[in-house]
Structure formats: structure tokens, C-alpha cells
Amino acid sequence: MWDGIKELIMTALQALYSVTGDYGWAIIMLTVIIRLALTPLTIKQTRSMYEMQRIQPKIKELQKKYKNDKEKLQEETLKFYQDNKVNPFGGCLPMIVQMPVFIALFQVLREELPQSLDTVQGWWFIIPDLTLTPQVVFTESGIVEAIPYLVLVALFGLSVWLPQQLMPGENQQKQMGLIMAAMMLYFGWISPAGVLLYWVTSSILGLIQQQLQIRYYAQKEGE
């Protein structure tokens, strides 16, 4: 099954490359297609995140009220979620669905694509080689050649941090987002540039969708 996922990603990239003549644009187009396919899930994800933030004051009241009775707290919290039709795990599903694609693309770009091509494939004039990691470029070619790759790493970390900061919520949760972004910088450092391009593109599209939804919900509540 896993080989089938990788083969599907490889076939999709080659098909999109035949249209664009550029593997960078092929990755971007693949990202858009995946994002469109996941639209129903991402809408539910943003709704769930928004509702979770909205009801946080009530959850805190329950925690304070039943701080000495954990069993009762769990019972009342679950009942509160059910009464308000909120799924505390609803925000995780799109990420879980995307992870196989993300990992498969990682392996395709690191292992299979370089073996199947006679020439190095980059993205336009911006990224010379999408199969190389920022770490390899920096080590072998120096900081000047690595600048486009380092920018991608920075955008990768920013794409993890920014959505958390723009969601309504408390500083503690936003600090967790900062810690997660810092951890992801290392992963970006050792990942093929094409994987970072996929993630950053996906995050930009997701951020636009998230902000449009939040504004819609905020306007709806204000009516």
C-alpha cells in the first residue's frame, strides 16, 4: 500500500511536469489539487478550532468548579462538548490525512526522483535543485548558494507558527505554536526543498481559507 502511495505521487508529479515543464510548478499544482480535495475536512478543522477557542472560558469555569473531582470534570467537559456540538479532535484530521502524502513526497524527492532523471530539476530560477536539502546545499556550496533554501526553511517554520498566532486563543497555546515552529526548523533543514515548497504552498492556501472562515464566523456572530 505504501509503495502504491509513492507511485501515485510520482505519477502525479510526472503528469503535472508534462504540463508545466517545471517540477516546482508541478509540486505547487499537486498541492492545490490536494488542498481542493481536502476542502471539506479543512472547513471542519477551522470550525472546530474556532469553536474550541470560543468555549475556552466555559471550559476553564468547569476546571475551576471540579478541580478536586477529575472524574466529574471529565464527565461535565464531555457533556459540554456534546451540548455545544464541538469535537475537540476535529482539528487533527486534515493533518493526519496529509501526513502520508507529505512522507511519500519526502521519499520520492529524496530517493526516486533523482534516480529517474538525467538532469537536475529545480523550480524556475529560484530553487536550483528541489531534491537537495538546505543542509546539503549549505555544507557543499556555502551560504550564498544556500540562501533560497534557507528562505524556504524560514517560511516553513513561519507556516507552522503563523496560523496559531492568528487564531483566537490564549498566549500559552500560542507559545506552544512557537516551540513547535522552532522544532520544525530542524526538520526543514534536513528535508528536500520540494517538500518545503509543498508544505509552504499548502500552508499559504490553508491560511487564506482559515482567515476567510474566521471572518465569516465573526461576522455571523455579530449579526
SS3 71: helix
Residue 81's H or E segment, with its range, is helix 70-83
pLDDT, tens digit only, all 223 positions of the chain: 778 888 888 888 889 988 988 889 999 999 999 889 888 888 887 777 777 777 777 878 887 877 777 787 788 788 877 777 776 666 566 667 778 888 888 888 877 776 655 555 778 778 888 888 999 999 998 999 899 999 999 998 888 777 666 665 555 556 666 777 778 888 889 989 999 999 899 988 988 888 888 888 777 766 5
Q: Could you tell me which residues come within 8 angstroms of residue 146 by beta carbon, excluding any fewer than 6 positions away?
A: 134, 137, 138
In the chain, what are the domain boundaries? 2-58+88-222
Report helix, strand and coil shares of the chain as percent, to nearest 5: 80, 0, 20
pTM of the model: 0.80
**3-class secondary structure, 127:** strand
Strand locations in 27-163 (E): none
